[in-house]
Amino acid sequence: MLIYGAGGHAKVIISLLRNSGTSVKAIFDDDPAKRTFEEISVTGSYDPDLHVHETLILAIGDNAKRAQLAAKIVHRFENVFHYSSLIDRDVRFGLGNVILHCAVIQTDAIIGNHCIINTSAIIEHECKISDFVHIAPGSVLCGNVTVGECTLIGAGSVVVPNVVIGKNCLIGAGSVVTKNIPDGVIVRGNPARIITQTHYGKENLALATAYGRHGNDLHSAGI
């Protein structure tokens, strides 16, 4: 297998692959200062002509960066699963996903492409996870939750059933999301409230502002 990325997330993936008996043929990274990584030579920037029959995984934690890189890769992508993950047989996956230690994905969930389901994350039944999403360690998505493209669910967050979270959102660590979240906003707290917009959220200003007012009202009422 080929790895694109030579940072902390890549360390976890390489360890997973080694423990499963999968060899890493090459590591690509755009930083010219990186010569070796985890005792493997770093090839340099992506080379579409190297090991053309090998599959590749994007070992990049940043959602937007993974999305940018995926568009230029010609190698085939593959999913990577830690052996301790618990995945129902009816779960549907795209390609390029990383499912890490002790993650749980329940029946009829749909996982898109190039998602990270991190350590001990729980995705319950019928959840729909769009492309380039990161479900951080210890997060819990209750049943029938939808998460939009390039959104990060921060570590230890809880999303209650049937909530829809938009694309390009950042859910702060430890948040409890109790209602729908529009595209392109940063939320945090219990209950989660909009704090500001992400770089991608300018077109959603009115919606975000309305949500923020309602969230403040709920917070003032102690809900």
pLDDT for residue 157 is more than 80: yes
pLDDT for residue 199 is more than 90: no
Q: What is the pLDDT of residue 202?
A: 53
Q: Which domains does the chain have, with CATH numbers?
A: 2-77 (3.40.50.20), 80-193 (2.160.10.10)
Mean per-residue pLDDT, 139-153: 98
Following CA atoms 69, 72, 73, 77 in sequence, which dihedral angle do they give, to the nearest 10 degrees?
60
CA angle 168, 99, 59 (to 5 degrees): 65
- In the DSSP assignment, the letter for residue 168 is S
Point out the least confidently predicted range of 22-36, 44-58, 139-153, 158-172.
22-36
Cα–Cα distance for residue pair 43/5, rounded to 1 Å? 11
Q: For residue 54, give the 3-state DSSP assignment.
A: coil
Annotated binding site: 61, 134
pLDDT in tens, 27-42: 999 988 888 888 888 9
Mean per-residue pLDDT, 96-119: 98
Q: What is the pLDDT of residue 198?
A: 72
Annotated binding site for acetyl-CoA: 134
In the set 125, 199, 214, 219, the catalytic residue is: 125
- Pairing between strand 26-28 and 40-44? parallel
Annotated binding site for substrate: 61
Q: Catalytic annotation on 9?
A: no
Q: What is the pLDDT of residue 200?
A: 61
Mean per-residue pLDDT, 55-65: 96
